[in-house]
Amino acid sequence: MLQFRIGNGYDIHCLASGRPLILGGIFIDHELGLLGHSDADVLTHAIMDAMLGALSLGDIGHYFPPTDDRWKGANSLKLLEQVNHLIQDRGWQINNIDSVIVAERPKLKPHIGAMRDRLSSTLNLDPNQMGVKATTNEKLGPEGREEGISAYAVVLLSATV
């Protein structure tokens, strides 16, 4: 019998000068970057939380705590690979993912394709299983004031049991 599980994830990181901006594993040239213990890839973090949430496995803070120096400056794609192994070990696979980044600047449209390719190849998915979208916040709220960038993700997992 084919079974499905759905998960959702959300994350936000502060913008600061002197930090790289990495979204979906792609370095984006910008005068501000995201603050965080790891590389602060807010999109990849939201996707991981959606994958873990689908199986009620908690959140990434549980698996990669910011108090642990092993994850300092960590490449979030490496953590994403580990989360994928976690769900595969339990017999589940990703059906599809959809996500949205909320950022006032920079323009993300030119980078969406590269993010899709990087994330889908990291997860061994076809790019058409990996939705990445971006929107501004119409200058409203922390994202609109360029204090931070947030991301939302949903994932559908399937398993044959």
**Span interacting with Mg ion, options 10-18, 95-103, 118-126, 150-158, rule CB under 5 A:** 10-18
Using CA atoms, how far apart are residues 4 and 61, in angstroms rounded to an integer?
25
Any contact of residue 143 with Mg ion (CB under 5 A)?
A: no
In the block, residue with structure tokens 């913008």: 15
Strand ranges, E, within the chain: 2-17, 21-23, 26-28, 32-34, 93-102, 133-135, 148-160
Give the x-and-dash track for 24-63 against Mg ion (CB under 5 A): ---------------------x------------------
Which of 44, 70, 129 lies closest to 60, judged by CA? Answer: 44
Residue closer to Mg ion (CB basis): 3 or 82 = 82
**Span interacting with Mg ion, options 8-16, 63-71, 86-94, 140-148, rule CB under 5 A:** 8-16
The minimum distance between CB 33 and Mg ion, in angstroms, equals 13
The minimum distance between CB 130 and Mg ion, in angstroms, equals 19
N-term to C-term CA, the chain: 5
- Partnered with residue 10 across adjacent β-strands are 152
The minimum distance between CB 12 and Mg ion, in angstroms, equals 8
For residue 78, give both structure tokens: 């490496």
The minimum distance between CB 131 and Mg ion, in angstroms, equals 20
What residues make contact with Mg ion under the rule CB under 5 A?
Answer: 11, 45
